[in-house]
Structure 1
Amino acid sequence: MLCVAAALAGWVDAVVGGGGLLQVPALLIGFPHLPPAYALGTNKAVAVVGTGAAAVTYARRAPVDVRLAAKLGGVAALASVGGAFFAAGVDSAVLRPLIMVLLLAVAAFVVLRPQFGSAPSGGPVTRRRVLLTLLVAGVGIGFYDGLLGPGTGTFLVIAFVALLNMDMVTSSATAKVVNVGTNLGALAMFSAQGTVLWQVAPLLAVFNLAGAALGARMALRRGSGFVRVVLLVVVVTLVAKLAYDQWWA
């Protein structure tokens, strides 16, 4: 079950982000007495492999500004270390409603603007926009990835489309490079805290890598329309999962 979940998580993560929606619950089900911090730490150890494979696949075939993506990834890595440091002391029940509202706004925006992310806008990407992206995607989303995690890739995709005028495929490709940084930063902190199940992580990483490679190739082949549909499915699923955790779990 865990290997299948890891492969599916890799596929979803490579297309539009949000693989943690599958992998973290699967770890908690597979190890029912596992503290949540171990599920989050193990998920990072697995996801960093699949995300790295997807990033390489995208970088070879999509027009990714590797220099900018690496800069964003470095900032996000440092921010995710800070998020992971504070993860144990934050009441996630306070943050979930805010995240749900943000995700619902994202879903409504994507539905009401069918052309959003279907093609580059062609507008200039100014230095101010790049700095804003460093602040929002690098610092803000990077910190969130270390703190909670689910939906990080999805938030990155939306941020790059909105702020850097990218199409969905290029945005997803760039998000993978940045996500490698956030995963590495959070993993470093979780490793230092001893909350990674290294006995199972390597096997799950192999399946995650296979799913990620397939997902990246499908996104490149099918284009922005396909990524857009998967994005909406992931957003709705994430909202449902957060709602369940908030009011019924």
Structure 2
Amino acid sequence: MITTTTILLLCVAAFMAGFVDAIVGGGGLIQTPMGLILMPQLPVSTVIGSLKIPAISGTSFAAYQYYQKVQLNTKLLLLMMLLALCAAFAGSTLLTLVHNEFMKPVLLIVLVFVAIYTYTKKNFGQQVIKNHSLQQRNTYAILISIVMGFYDGFIGPGTGSFLVLAFISIMGFDFLHASAHAKMVNLATNFGSICLFILKGQIIWKIALPMAACNAVGGALGAKLAINKGNQFIRIIFLIVVLATLLRFAYDVFIK
């Protein structure tokens, strides 16, 4: 039985997750563990499926804030969002068939390098530094969309942060524009996963809907703060979230 206290605690977690996720991704690091801890009696797939509703709610409000205030490449985003949606659906489908534990040690190593590189390179993500040809840009965009969409559907934690990293290191965006574009693509990956979980009947709406409202408020506030504070602020939050993701995977690999 899911109590009122449980729902209230989940709503607090959803607000915090929406706030952090809107700035640089990584809201799942707050929301997902809390859901698994507070609802141990439910299947993991049901918990994850239910949490995707607040995730997409907060992402939607954050994406709207970015859309209003940050210049976006709309044509490129539409292509990326479509591909990411399909890839996330495929990843979530695979998740219902096999375990994803074998990927966590690899991701742990990747995150160590990401944290070190971001910390040591002070100008990382502070300005637009790459001028790709149209063909190069589209190729990179397609690869990012497919890989990150599949990752979000199959594994999940840290997707927003990995998207920000991809937009900076591969596409050459600064932190603010990387966060804005990443939020749009993340919106599509969440929707792709939700389509599968709805078809499987694995969403508990009495949990998902109140969490969605709280996540949306957090997402709107987080995006507004990121837009006002700019690149340096987002870089700091990015480092914190990457380190938190690293600790999460380290726990899963060495302790759990």
Report the TM-score, using the length of structure 2 for normalisation: 0.94
* 8 A Cα contact 1:17 1:152, kept in partner: yes
What residue number does 1:73 align with?
A: 81
Distance 1:179 1:158 in 2: 13
Equivalent residue letter for 1:87: L
Is the counterpart of residue 201 in structure 1 residue 204 in structure 2? no
Superposed structure 1 runs of 4+ greater than 2 Å apart = 88-93, 122-126
The equivalent position to 1:174 in structure 2, one of 178, 181, 184, is: 181
Query: Partner of 2:125: helix, strand, or coil?
Result: coil
The offset of 1:88, in angstroms, is 2.4
Mapping of residues 39-118 of structure 1, within 5 Å = 39-118=47-126
When structure 1 is superposed on structure 2, of 120-129 and 104-113 the one drifting more is 120-129
The offset of 1:92, in angstroms, is 2.4
Equivalent residue letter for 2:174: D
* 8 A Cα contact 1:59 1:66, kept in partner: no
Mapping of residues 1-249 of structure 1, within 5 Å = 1-121=9-129, 123-135=131-143, 137-249=144-256
Kindly tell me: are residues 157 and 125 of structure 1, through their superposed partners in 2, closer, same or farther at Cα, counting changes over 3 Å? Answer: farther
The C-alpha deviation readout for 1:130-158, integer Å capped at 9, x for no partner, is: 212211x2100100100011111101101
Q: Which segments of 5 or more consecutive residues in structure 1 lack a partner in the other structure?
A: none
Report the TM-score, using the length of structure 1 for normalisation: 0.96
The offset of 1:91, in angstroms, is 2.5
Distance 2:44 2:231 in 1: 35
Q: How many residues align?
A: 248
Distance 1:36 1:167 in 2: 36
Q: Which segments of 5 or more consecutive residues in structure 2 lack a partner in the other structure?
A: 1-8
Distance 2:23 2:42 in 1: 29
Equivalent residue letter for 1:197: I
Equivalent residue letter for 1:227: I
